[in-house]
Structure 1
Amino acid sequence: MVNWAQMYDCHGDVGRVPELLALAELEDDAEVWDELGYRLILEHDLVFPASFAALPRLVRLASRSARARGLAGAIVRCAAGGHGCDDLLAGCAEAIVEFREVLDRHLRSGPTDYIAVFRDLIAVEGHYHWSAVLGDFSDDFYQVACPHCAVEVTIAIGGYGRYSAIRDWNLGDVDRCDLRPASPERLSGIGRWMHETAVRDGKAVLADGITHLFGQAECPRCASVLNIADEYSASNRPLM
């Protein structure tokens, strides 16, 4: 049983969120959902005790409400931040397992919001840094530091090409080198899971982009070879 007297929202209130949840369970009202989002997630992706207290109820609604699914996903994506609610997050473990099943089932249906749901599912798996940046590979760019010479390398995966380069703000991406995609059979961990999910759902462009993201790049400055995903993760994986 949630003690809502201690579950303050983004504005310091403790009573309004449970009232809004009760209304949302009765009727899919846009104004109710807008206020819930306004109270559960502050700008800059900040969450509060009420956010995690609300999560199990949002998950229960997620299979029949796109708004509940989206708000629950947004809260999970914020779970890596410095919210000071680790005990409340731990108490949501069963709800998060249930949410994973809801999201995976929705992905299999081929939704129009596939990438957004895919990113939520990545967050549920605990890989918040990929959830925050992964796109559809139509126009994706990642910044990594070369581990050998420390120069900032731009990684492009999309309609402009699949290459590493040095970004010059006057000349654009210069000294381009083609990426070396990973073989799907050699992928492991989150990269393998992401690729297999995209292939399962018939998302060929997404699957191909993932092989490049988890492949290798040549540093245009020193010509050393780096693992893109390893270097990006090392710099961007949140401290939990």
Structure 2
Amino acid sequence: MTDWSTLIDACGSAGHVPALLDRFEADPSGVWSELMDHLCPQLDTAFTASFAALPRLAEIATAAGSENLGGVLSAAGAIASCSPGLSEPDSPLMVFSAPIAVLHDLANRSLSQTAEAEAEEYVNLLQALLSFEGVETWDRSLSGLQTGEYEVDCPYCGVNVFVVIGHDGYFCCTDDYSLQEVQKSPLQPARGQQLEGLPRRLFERALADGQERLAHGVRHLFGRAACPDCGTGFSVSERVVAGWIP
């Protein structure tokens, strides 16, 4: 049995967390923000009580209906994404490997059941899936595929570059394209056969799940761009990783 009084959350002693989890199970959408305030504020900080809550979150997710499952998985995914990697001693991803495996299976199945119109939910589930696997950076950096924009810096001149991937097109620019006409430099998407490792997996997974627009976005995210100011070519994904602040 977990002695919650010996653990901490964002507010101090975690003795109240079991009751909070009970309320979350009864009303996931209504209690989600409060749960995150205690266990994973700003979705980027976790505590001993946060990781200890993963077994209970796996139970809640297993029993949740389809309308609430995504919220439970995103809560658990946010916590898992704060864990030290699998190579670290006593990583929570290893300590709580059994409930994380349950959460991973649920996320995996939910992805294939998410309609293309629900792109935001799909990206959130995909990030949760990666967090349960211990994938770093991309477990929290795929949201630009849904919002349609990343901000990076040019590796040569340092200027801030908007990389647009989505409804507004596929280009990069250095000025606010939503307010004025700007000089645009087209993105060069990676060919499907050029993708390897995680990028290829993301591309093929999105295609298999009927998320064709997101699959197209993956090709551009892992493709190349050129700075509109100095003309320097760069890998979009490498600049996203370089600018990532965990």
Taking structure 2 as the reference length, the TM-score comes to 0.80
SS at match of 2:182: strand
SS at match of 1:162: strand
The correspondence for 1:68, drawn from 65, 72, 89, is 72
After superposition, the CA RMSD in angstroms is 3.1
Provide Cα deviations, 1:10-64, integer angstroms capped at 9, x if missing partner: 221332112444x369x63456666544432334643221110011221233133
Match of 2:3 in 1: 3
Amino acid at match of 2:11: H
Per the TM alignment, residue 188 of structure 1 is displaced from its structure 2 partner at its CA by 1.4
Alpha carbons of 1:217 and 1:78: their partners in 2 closer, same or farther (altered >3 Å)? Answer: same
Match of 1:97 in 2: 101
The percent identity for this pair of structures is 34
Alpha carbons of 1:63 and 1:136: their partners in 2 closer, same or farther (altered >3 Å)? Answer: farther
Q: Is the 8 A contact 1:144 1:155 kept in 2?
A: yes
Task: Quote the Cα distance in structure 2 between the aligned partners of 1:173 and 1:133.
Answer: 28
- Note if 1:196 corresponds to 2:194: no
User: 105-114 or 195-204, which moves further after superposition?
Assistant: 105-114
Per the TM alignment, residue 202 of structure 1 is displaced from its structure 2 partner at its CA by 0.7
Match of 1:234 in 2: 242
- Note if 1:13 corresponds to 2:21: no
Alpha carbons of 1:226 and 1:105: their partners in 2 closer, same or farther (altered >3 Å)? Answer: same
Per the TM alignment, residue 72 of structure 1 is displaced from its structure 2 partner at its CA by 1.1
Amino acid at match of 2:81: R
Q: Is the 8 A contact 2:107 2:125 kept in 1?
A: yes
Per the TM alignment, residue 147 of structure 1 is displaced from its structure 2 partner at its CA by 2.0
Per the TM alignment, residue 161 of structure 1 is displaced from its structure 2 partner at its CA by 1.2
Task: Quote the Cα distance in structure 1 between the aligned partners of 2:59 and 2:80.
Answer: 15
Amino acid at match of 1:152: N
Alpha carbons of 1:36 and 1:231: their partners in 2 closer, same or farther (altered >3 Å)? Answer: closer
**Mapping of residues 208-219 of structure 1, within 5 Å:** 208-219=216-227
Per the TM alignment, residue 128 of structure 1 is displaced from its structure 2 partner at its CA by 4.5
Per the TM alignment, residue 232 of structure 1 is displaced from its structure 2 partner at its CA by 1.4
Gaps of 5+ in 1: none
Match of 2:112 in 1: 108
SS at match of 1:230: helix
Amino acid at match of 1:147: P
Length, aligned pairs only: 233
The correspondence for 1:28, drawn from 23, 26, 29, is 26
Per the TM alignment, residue 89 of structure 1 is displaced from its structure 2 partner at its CA by 4.9
Task: Quote the Cα distance in structure 2 between the aligned partners of 1:20 and 1:170.
Answer: 42
Provide Cα deviations, 1:93-127, integer angstroms capped at 9, x if missing partner: 33323322210011112254322212212333334
Alpha carbons of 1:229 and 1:12: their partners in 2 closer, same or farther (altered >3 Å)? Answer: same
SS at match of 2:9: coil
SS at match of 1:205: helix
Alpha carbons of 1:230 and 1:136: their partners in 2 closer, same or farther (altered >3 Å)? Answer: closer
**Mapping of residues 164-203 of structure 1, within 5 Å:** 164-167=172-175, 172=180, 174-203=182-211
Per the TM alignment, residue 169 of structure 1 is displaced from its structure 2 partner at its CA by 8.3
Match of 1:47 in 2: 46
User: 108-117 or 206-215, which moves further after superposition?
Assistant: 108-117
Match of 2:55 in 1: 56
SS at match of 2:162: strand
SS at match of 1:95: helix
Task: Quote the Cα distance in structure 2 between the aligned partners of 1:44 and 1:110.
Answer: 23
